[in-house]
């Protein structure tokens, strides 16, 4: 078909004038239908590539957030770890990660097949027809891996971190993806007989991406231990945390704004196909709820912290850092049910996420867990909350 002119004109140019009127009508209908299918495929491919680009841009957001949260002497080390996350994730997910996660199945399709632990085909992208889907899923895997980078800031060897990043995206993360999103996973909602009748509904990865990354960060922080001088025992016998302020609040704010922007690709992009029936409605609802939950988390973390500080010291202090982290808490918590919630419910989810973030940071200090960017309360605790709320 000619690439110039209308679809109708292109089909008319191919019409065989020797056919009967009925055969010509059938040919025209089939020609137009094929053209629409090609158009839909092109639109959906572009949509996935665009969404994947937004999600991958999260790497820049996390990098800026980490850069602003660490001391200047550790800046280069932190930035290199963020770069290694993207590199390790791409190699790990290309070789075996994607195959373990999806293994030849298509997302969103119900099945009567038995339960499988991991996928067993499509290694090294062999026989993968829609590579834009691989790109989108790789960006998710890289996001889950880079959550840990901030937590382990200022105290992790580079080769060990590269090994971790590759292992997480090549095996650990894909196993979680397979169990929840693959139609043969034991927690999948697409099984003929899902767990408890519904399975696990996680639209954009609240549990799959954020809780996995947050839990990994908790384990890694516990194994490595705190930075030297981070905790000490006060005269009252209680564990006290020494503040290690980052060198740039401006970079932290820039990182959060980049992450908020990228989250629209993360949540709205999880419809995969924008031309399918009702998918545009799901995408726009996801984007709106993402906005409202972020706002709710910001406001609640800011105001609750003001109230807590005023009770302790009698002074009114508005903390930019807590507001920024509250924003991320709201974004994480809405990820699981963003496409299905009412707008008012998204605000409530965000409001509670901001409070849970403040509680989580205090809990980490109480147990002596050193988290340089508060990734554990944001991604693990708020991820669990979002999975329940969604």
Q: Tens digit of pLDDT for each residue in 279-336?
A: 999 999 999 999 999 999 999 999 999 999 999 888 888 999 999 999 999 999 999 9
* pLDDT for residue 144: 95
> Residue 283's CB: how many other CB atoms inside 10 A?
23
Burial classification of residue 14, based on how many CB atoms lie within 10 Å of its CB (0-12 exposed, 13-18 middle, 19 or more buried): exposed
Of residues 149 and 36, more confidence is placed in 149
Confidence of residue 21 (pLDDT cuts 50, 70, 90): low
- Cβ–Cβ < 8 Å for 322, 303: no
Place of tokens 């969404």: 51
Of residues 4 and 34, more confidence is placed in 34
* pLDDT for residue 8: 58
- Nearest-angstrom CA–CA distance, 35 and 242: 64
3-state secondary structure of 201: coil
Share of residues in the chain with pLDDT > 90 (%)? 64
* pLDDT for residue 18: 72
Confidence of residue 345 (pLDDT cuts 50, 70, 90): very high
What's the chain's average pLDDT? 89
Phi, psi at residue 285, to the nearest 5°? -65, -40
- Nearest-angstrom CA–CA distance, 230 and 243: 7
Residues whose CB is less than 8 angstroms from the CB of residue 18 and which lie 6 or more positions away in sequence, other chains included? none
């Amino acid at each position: 078909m000619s690439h110039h002119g209308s679809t109708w004109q292109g089909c008319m140019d191919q019409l065989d004038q020797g056919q009967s009127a009925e055969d010509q009508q059938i040919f025209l209908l089939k020609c137009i239908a094929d053209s629409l299918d090609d158009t839909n495929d092109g639109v959906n491919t572009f949509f996935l590539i665009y969404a994947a680009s937004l999600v991958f841009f999260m790497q820049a957001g996390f990098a800026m957030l980490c850069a602003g949260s660490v001391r200047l002497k550790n800046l280069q080390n932190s930035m290199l770890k963020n770069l290694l996350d993207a590199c390790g994730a791409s190699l790990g997910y290309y070789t075996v990660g994607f195959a373990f996660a999806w293994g030849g199945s298509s997302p969103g399709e119900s099945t009567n097949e038995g339960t499988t632990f991991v996928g067993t085909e499509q290694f090294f992208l062999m026989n993968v027809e829609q590579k834009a889907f691989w790109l989108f899923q790789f960006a998710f895997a890289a996001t889950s891996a880079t959550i840990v980078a901030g937590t382990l800031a200022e105290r992790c060897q580079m080769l060990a971190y590269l090994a971790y990043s590759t292992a997480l995206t090549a095996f650990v993360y894909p196993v979680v993806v397979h169990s929840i999103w693959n139609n043969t996973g034991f927690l999948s909602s697409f099984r003929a007989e899902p767990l408890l009748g519904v399975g696990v509904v996680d639209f954009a990865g609240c549990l799959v991406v954020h809780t996995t990354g947050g839990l990994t960060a908790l384990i890694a922080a516990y194994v490595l231990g705190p930075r030297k001088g981070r905790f000490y025992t006060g005269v009252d016998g209680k564990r006290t945390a020494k503040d290690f302020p980052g060198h740039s609040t401006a970079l932290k704010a820039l990182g959060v704004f980049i992450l908020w922007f990228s989250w629209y690709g993360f949540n709205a992009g999880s419809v995969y196909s924008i031309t399918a029936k009702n998918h545009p409605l799901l995408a726009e609802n996801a984007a709106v709820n993402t906005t409202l939950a972020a706002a709710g988390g910001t406001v609640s973390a800011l105001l609750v912290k003001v109230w807590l500080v005023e009770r302790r010291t009698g002074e009114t202090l508005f903390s930019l850092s807590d507001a920024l982290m509250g924003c991320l808490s709201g974004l994480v918590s809405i990820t699981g049910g963003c496409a299905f919630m009412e707008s008012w419910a998204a605000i409530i989810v965000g409001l509670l996420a901001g409070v849970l973030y403040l509680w989580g940071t205090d809990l980490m200090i109480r147990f002596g867990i050193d988290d340089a960017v508060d990734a554990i309360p944001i991604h693990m605790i708020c991820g669990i909350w979002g999975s329940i709320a969604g």
